[in-house]
Amino acid sequence: MKPALSEAAKRVGIWIRVSTDDQARGESPEHHEARARMYADSRGWTVVDVYNLAGVSGKSVMDHPETKRMLKDMRAGRITGLIFSKLARLARNTRELLDFADLFKAEGADLISLQEAIDTSTPAGRLFYTMIAAMATWEREEIGSRVAASVSVRAKLGKKLGGQAPFGYRYEGHDLVPDPKEAPVVRRMYELFAEHGRIRTVCRLLNDAGHRMRKGAKFGYTTVNRLLTDSTAVGRHRVNYAKSLGDKKRWHLKPESEWMFHPVPPIVSDDLWNRANAALTERRSTRKPPAKKPVQLFAGVVYCDCGGKMYVPANTPKYVCYTCTKKPKNKIPITDLENVFHSQLRDFFFSPAEIAKHLENADSTLKEKADLLASMEAEDARLKTEAEKLYQLYLADKLSVDSFGERHRPIEERLKQLGDEIPRLQGEIDFLKINYLSSSEVVSEAQDLYSKWPSLPFEEKRRVIENITEKIVVGDGDISLELCYLPSSAELLSKEHRNLTD
């Protein structure tokens, strides 16, 4: 992922996709653009371009020319952020929303949703998005577990689980039967291995004889090794033995206790299959697997109080400081450190008193501006009604041209003022919402994350730690966690005042 640019250098685009219903409610593309420009001005950002998809369906926008132009500008670094009115205006397709988030994250660019008060250029915005992503992954894991459970039931019942028939077989209805073209190749493969005892030699001889896999590919080491160990060839079709790791090329074996076997017509004899697999087992037992270096959950963020980084050596389940001059060296067990981190998630941001103070200041300021906005919107609606009444009187010859103009002109001027002031005020409110960013909302997410933490996969835990952890300092009997934080109320008020008076 590319590093994010500084605030001063941020160049943003404005994304406009306004439905016909929105426009009927008076939310024109110009209104949404003015609101977004106000937010950009409040942050001191430069608006580089506007990407207008007004009237375009949100069902799928990824292939739209304006989308492609925006992504091209983002990848080229022409824009480093995208402002839009709300997530549903970016795209209604959940998959595309996640795709947008992944694309922007990969380029170090930010997404700013005004309605949901999400700005990934802020620590709180990044945390909020990270937590939402973690929860989504957790839910996908839950769904995956239910699907996996149904696979086991289907396997026990002997039902077809999908996918292609193993090489050497074909499906006739729901039954596996030897394929007249492929089965002789499988039989020849076993015979060659029994004669030569080397998989690469078998590959060469099969390929030289003109034999090919189902889609025309040559036989390779991995393919031949897999086919030689597949018990389907000896009449025992193995099912429910592997699980996908997210794509078609990566799988891992399930525990043997979950494997199931169904009888099918054999291609090779028991004796030939047993001799081949005994030779392969003996070869594997004498081969020393390469050592795999483990990746620790808190790697890169754990420090000793002497200032040195702490690492987990291969011979101990503890983080150890090698630069420490103390005897014995500073250490902490891996499990203890995760338990401490987990407990910190409950009160991640503020103490209860600080939360109350923060929300009180935020609510007061936002309420004043929200009340003003409601008043201006009510006045805007009233003046539009009066303007329509005057126009109807003019059409009915109840008003002369001069009388109509005299009465209509001040209404028209005030409507123009409101048309400029309303989106400006909405932009101010958006700025305050995102900078105050609902501490209660983030704390709620942190509490939810706390409850789900034990169930999250390692990769998601690691991603959360990378996004919210500055440093973990381990001392004598003391652990200090320096985490990303929201600005205090005083800092926010000061920043708000600077931006609105500049």
Question: Dihedral of CA 6/8/11/17: which sign?
Answer: positive
Q: Which of 275, 181, 195 is nearest to 228 (CA)?
A: 275
DSSP 260-295: EEEE---SS-HHHHHHHHHHHHHHHHTSPPPP-PPP
For residue 82, the cross-strand partners are 13, 111
Calpha distance 185→269 (Å, rounded): 15
| Same fold? 7-121, 159-285 | no
pLDDT in tens, 125-175: 666 666 655 555 555 555 555 555 544 444 444 555 456 788 999 988 878
Residues 6 or more apart whose CB falls under 8 angstroms from that of 205 comprise: 192, 196
- Tell me which amino acid residue 182 is: E
Helix (H, G, I), strand (E, B) or coil at 199: helix
- Identify the pLDDT of residue 49: 93
Using CA atoms, how far apart are residues 88 and 313, in angstroms rounded to an integer?
48
Least confidently predicted of 238-247, 293-302, 467-476, 488-497: 488-497
Residue among 301, 303, 300, 308 nearest 325 (CA): 308
Select the more confidently predicted residue: 83 or 370. Answer: 83
**Does the pTM of the predicted model rise above 0.75?**
no
Tell me the domain boundaries of the chain.
7-121, 159-285
Tokens of 460: 């998601």
Q: Please tell me the distance from the alpha carbon of residue 164 to that of residue 159, in angstroms, as a whole number.
A: 14
Q: Whole-angstrom Cα distance, residue 244 to residue 443? A: 35
pLDDT of res. 297: 84
Question: Which of 229-243, 260-274, 377-391 is predicted with the least confidence, judged by mean pLDDT?
Answer: 229-243
Cβ atoms of residues 409 and 417 within 8 Å: no
Q: For the chain, how big is the Rg over CA atoms in Å? A: 33
Cα separation, 96 vs 60, whole angstroms: 7
54-62 mean pLDDT: 70
Cβ atoms within 10 Å of 495's Cβ, excluding its own? 15
Predicted confidence (pLDDT) per residue in 370-403, tens digit: 888 888 889 988 999 998 998 888 888 888 888 8
Q: Which fold has domain 7-121?
A: Rossmann fold (3.40.50)
| Cβ within 8 Å of residue 378, ≥6 positions away | none
CATH tag for 159-285 (out of 3.40.50.10860, 3.30.390.50, 3.90.1750.20, 3.40.50.360): 3.90.1750.20
Q: Which is more confidently placed, 417 or 429?
A: 417
